[in-house]
Amino acid sequence: MLLDTFGRQAVDLRVSLTDRCNLRCTYCMPEQGLQWLAKPTLLTDEEIVRLVGLAVRELGVREVRFTGGEPLLRPGLVSIVAACAELRPRPELSLTTNGVGLTRVAAALQAAGLDRVNVSLDTLDEDTFHTLTRRQRHRDVLAGLAAAEAAGLTPVKVNSVLMRGVNDHEAADLLAWSLEHGYQLRFIEQMPLDAQHGWDRAGMITAEEILARLGERFALTPEPSADRGAAPAERWLVDGGPTTVGVIASVTRPFCRACDRTRLTADGQVRNCLFATGETDLRTALRSGADDAELAALWRAAMWGKKAGAGIDAPDFHQPDRPMSAIGG
């Protein structure tokens, strides 16, 4: 098992497959992009499958989420998913994507064994999408969502970040649209994960503001807290249910006490928290001939040192030096 000193067990593994992305979201990276990781430093497909297999067989991981950067840019994605679907015990497999390339690969991913997808979509307006992402790919994302639904990668979840003065007026429209299409919507408080360090706590749309704006059009009833478990999203029944909307209040209401996640970066580092400033190098040990027992011991030690909380709201908190796209969300 992957335990820490506070008794938390990490059963949810986030695996970054690449640091690259085909969008340039203003809250994630600068317009010119980042200095991408050199290919030799990235884990190979076989190395990823080996480490995921180790986590599932030996360390108690039950859920695996593939992330990036943009994971659809990984050439071996379908084969990685297929290999992980063959693991026993079989983990739940999901993918977080911007949706741009989903139409061409959704069916293949489902056939390979992927269970569901999370798609990032912050606006229903093409011009606002261009403002936020610096790319004209809004229609591709909408088509990708429809392709995921048609392929059976359900429930299709939509992740939205609201930016003050940009798309914060769209909260209720996004929920109405998601309900119409059968998607599960989750709003995420903007976190200090931008590589250009432009995050401003005062400019963030908080969970309370999101709920207030949704409440202008919908009746929201909190789900019983017992139903949440270790899930990062607090959920509300919409107009009496059964449909729900989620809010991930990572900054104003951190969920560190129940965190059950561990992260493997694109270049083979273990992070026991998305906001951790330190990491444990599995790639070097792996390529130096370490066996599964040695790799498992390194991973357990990394998790044992996990702090009680991320400290996002501390005045001196800042984004770790490594690009968010190499860490995985």
Residues within the annotated binding site for S-adenosyl-L-methionine? 27, 69, 120, 191
Annotated binding-site members for [4Fe-4S] cluster: 21, 25, 28, 256, 259, 273
Q: Cα–chain-centroid distance for residue 13?
A: 10
Instruction: Return d(Cα 82, Cα 297) in angstroms, integer.
Output: 27
C-alpha 37 chain-centroid distance:
20
Contact 19, 266 (CB under 8 A): yes
* Binding site feature residues for GTP: 14, 65, 96, 157, 261-263
Distance CA 81, CA 329 (A): 18
Phi, psi of 185 (to 5 degrees): -95, 135
- What sign does the CA torsion over 29, 35, 36, 41 have? negative
Annotated binding-site positions: 14, 21, 25, 27-28, 65, 69, 96, 120, 157, 191, 256, 259, 261-263, 273
- How many helices (H) and strands (E) the chain has is answered by 10, 12
| Pairing assessment for the beta strands 116-120 and 157-160 based on DSSP bridges | parallel
With contact defined as beta carbons under 8 Å apart, do 142 and 125 qualify? Answer: no
Q: How far apart are CA 214 and CA 216, in angstroms?
A: 5
Contacts of 89 by beta carbon, 8 Å cutoff, 6+ apart = 56, 57, 62
Where is 270: in which H helix or E strand? Answer: strand 269-271
The strand ranges marked E within 2-115 are 12-16, 63-67, 92-97
